[in-house]
Structure 1
Amino acid sequence: MRQSVLSAVGEQRRALIARAGAADRARLDQYFTSVREMEGKLALQLQKPPPAQACIRPVEPAVLPANIDMTDQSVRRTNHKLMAELLAMGLACNQTRAFNMTFSAAAADLHQAGETTGYHQLTHEELIDRAIGYQPKVDRYAIYSMEAFAEFVTALASVREGAGTLLDNCMVFAHSEVSYAKNHDVSGVPVMIAGRAGGRLKPGIHVRGGGQPITRIGLTAQQVMGVGTDSWGFDAMQARQPVSEILA
């Protein structure tokens, strides 16, 4: 059962190749190569994973009521924290190496309990408080989002891995949907990168984009993760220089 299927039919395979012409032999060789590559992938998946010291079974959370409002920001925060902890354990247990986490989708539907106007609608309708220079309720939702991101990063940082933490071995790319919410401006969208990517990133650095295309962030992320590319994006959004200030 452990034998390669190509070895199991080796005699028939050699007989078939002997009768085939040059072109057919080339096509057969491609086919047999693809079969062997598939066998290699299956064999890798059947291997027992290396021990993960931090891998533990998470505590089962309480069951939420069936009619709970998932757009309530406090409920969303609770669920997001649980998902962050579950994802951190999935990484610690080597169940995945890549992830995507969303706190609120585009045109956010979040709202505060007791209020009828939600986050997205407020960005359009709330007046700017002239004394402080911004929309106070919209600002409150932005703080909720940043607190949720902090909880997400904390979940990764709380898992020990090797000489450091899971966060030390990760690169978390986080961003807002827009920059200035009232007119949905996409110039200068704030971006945050957490983690050290196994020592390839320097944390704690603020870089001003200065009008450079945001694709520089994507190019930097790809190069940090070992993707062999020297440019990313098209036309005016093409980036050729990574954000070198954060590279270790």
Structure 2
Amino acid sequence: MFQRSISRRTMLRGAGVALALPLLESMCPSLANAKAAEQTKSPQRFVAINIPLGFHPTDFFPKESGRDYALSPYLEVAKDLRDEFTVFSGLSHPDVDGGHSAEKSFLTAAPHPGAPSFTNTISLDQFLAKRIGDQTRFASLTLGSHSLSWSANGVVIPTETSPTKLFSALFLKGSEKDLAQQQAQLQDGQSIMDAVLADARAMQPRISTTDRAKLDQYFTAVRETEQRLAKSQAWLNKPKPQIEEKPPAVIPWMDFTGNFRSFLDVVRLAIQTDSTRVVAFGGDAGSPVSPLKGISQAYHTLSHHGLDTTLIEELRIIDRETIKIWADFLTALRSTPDGDSNLLRNTQVLFGSNLGNANSHSTTNLPIIHAGGRFKHGQHLAFDAKQNSPLAKLFVSILQGCGQEVDRFASGSGTIAGLEQA
């Protein structure tokens, strides 16, 4: 029904008193329309994917930079999506070395992860989860063969290794006995936290200044645990989302690309139902022999090919399948309506590796693609191949794209040059 706007000169008159009205939506239809549009906007989500053995560089990186670049052989599979992602070269984490150990620092940028005295810092996903995770059943999801997620105290977050179990946790309701057991476990956990915290506080007067600092960190960790327990308790009796999809089939562990695809299928459902807004997936870096046609050697062996052309050809089969799964995930997100747009428009997807070249254990010039979100994509941003730009600058851009007012994260000060929000 048409409703006329109210004049801003309208006054309330009574008992000889005239009061000017405050600014109302009806006085300014555009204000009401803007508010209505804002209410239809969906939240921004974030998905991080690390493939720890990387990709064969000559097939991954485009030769040209800018918006008119020709897709590399690996990225040809994503040609219909080229306006939805930005390829980066010349990025790395300063002082993050140690070969395979660098996977610990992929989302933290903490230096020297291979050192005996290494202490990690908070990961990008957990930094974001602390700020938006209270709005969903799961503050974040940590998935895959290795964990990318680290707490503010540098403690690794355990990872879910089964897509089937993940689906069950997200969408299947347990029996009354299961619910009662979970309730008891939550109460026991809270009781333990109370007792431990009381004992720790009793120690404070008898310890040194250095130990007090350590104890403060411990208190922070305990408080965060208590908050997670309280949140779990609040969500326990709330019904889970109902979906039509069936649980994914159990896939043998050596089929790491098959499990990767299953995980991303469930991740799409998780963010579509707003069960979580933050996901971190760590891929396989072990030695399984992939069941893909044409593969005869272990994945880890292929990544350390020593320039053997036969091994490189097999590695390309795995690399192409991995990138195809990523591209299919983006396509599925783009095909799913969400608020005023689609899931891809409302989900940033960071895809890459902690190794620039697994064959040489190089941790520079990392293969990185940033897709989705409300950014102007469709380009290859090439930074100096020798004097790399900090990858954490992209992390700052990601955080700002999720509505966070930050200008620094880890080794990144300011946003990444060339990537603009739409």
Normalising by structure 2, we get a TM-score of: 0.39
Give the direction of change, closer, same or farther, for the CA distance of 1:126–1:225 in structure 2 (3 Å limit). same
- Which of 246, 264, 273 lines up with 1:60 in the alignment? 246
Give the direction of change, closer, same or farther, for the CA distance of 1:110–1:228 in structure 2 (3 Å limit). farther
1:25-104 correspondence runs (5 A)? 57-61=243-247, 63-64=249-250, 69-72=252-255, 76-102=256-282, 104=283
Q: What amino acid is aligned across from residue 59 of structure 1 in structure 2?
A: E
1:208-223 correspondence runs (5 A)? 208-210=382-384, 211-223=388-400
Paired with 1:56 and 1:155, the residues of 2 have a C-alpha distance of: 19
- Contact preservation (8 Å) 1:71, 1:110: yes
Alignment correspondent of 2:68: none
Paired with 2:400 and 2:275, the residues of 1 have a C-alpha distance of: 23
Give the direction of change, closer, same or farther, for the CA distance of 1:112–1:177 in structure 2 (3 Å limit). farther
Coordinate RMSD, CA, aligned: 3.2
Q: Secondary structure at the match of 1:94?
A: coil
Alignment correspondent of 1:13: none
2:379 is equivalent to residue 205 of structure 1? yes
2:279 is equivalent to residue 105 of structure 1? no
Q: Secondary structure at the match of 1:82?
A: helix
2:406 is equivalent to residue 246 of structure 1? no
Q: What amino acid is aligned across from residue 111 of structure 1 in structure 2?
A: S
Deviation at 1:205, TM superposition (A): 2.0
Paired with 2:359 and 2:260, the residues of 1 have a C-alpha distance of: 26
Paired with 2:247 and 2:306, the residues of 1 have a C-alpha distance of: 37
- Which of 128, 140, 143 lines up with 2:320 in the alignment? 143
Paired with 1:138 and 1:128, the residues of 2 have a C-alpha distance of: 11
- Contact preservation (8 Å) 2:352, 2:366: yes
- Contact preservation (8 Å) 1:216, 1:242: yes
Paired with 1:62 and 1:92, the residues of 2 have a C-alpha distance of: 17
Runs of 5+ in structure 2 lacking a partner? 1-226
Q: Secondary structure at the match of 1:142?
A: helix
Paired with 2:286 and 2:305, the residues of 1 have a C-alpha distance of: 14
Deviation at 1:239, TM superposition (A): 2.4
Q: Note the alpha carbon deviations across 1:2-25, whole angstroms, 9 max, x for none.
A: xxxxxxxxxxxxxxxxxxxxxxxx
Deviation at 1:69, TM superposition (A): 3.2
Paired with 1:128 and 1:93, the residues of 2 have a C-alpha distance of: 46
Q: What amino acid is aligned across from residue 164 of structure 1 in structure 2?
A: S
Give the direction of change, closer, same or farther, for the CA distance of 1:165–1:90 in structure 2 (3 Å limit). same
Alignment correspondent of 1:30: none
Alignment correspondent of 1:230: 407
- Contact preservation (8 Å) 2:350, 2:370: yes
Alignment correspondent of 1:195: 372
Question: Whose RCO is larger (CA < 8 A, sep 6+)?
Answer: 2
- Contact preservation (8 Å) 2:248, 2:262: no
Normalising by structure 1, we get a TM-score of: 0.63
Alignment correspondent of 2:300: 120
- Contact preservation (8 Å) 1:112, 1:118: no
Deviation at 1:60, TM superposition (A): 1.3
Q: Secondary structure at the match of 1:151?
A: helix
Deviation at 1:61, TM superposition (A): 4.4
More strand by share: 2
Q: What amino acid is aligned across from residue 380 of structure 2 in structure 1?
A: H
Q: What amino acid is aligned across from residue 181 of structure 1 in structure 2?
A: A
Runs of 5+ in structure 1 lacking a partner? 1-37, 50-54
Paired with 2:272 and 2:248, the residues of 1 have a C-alpha distance of: 23
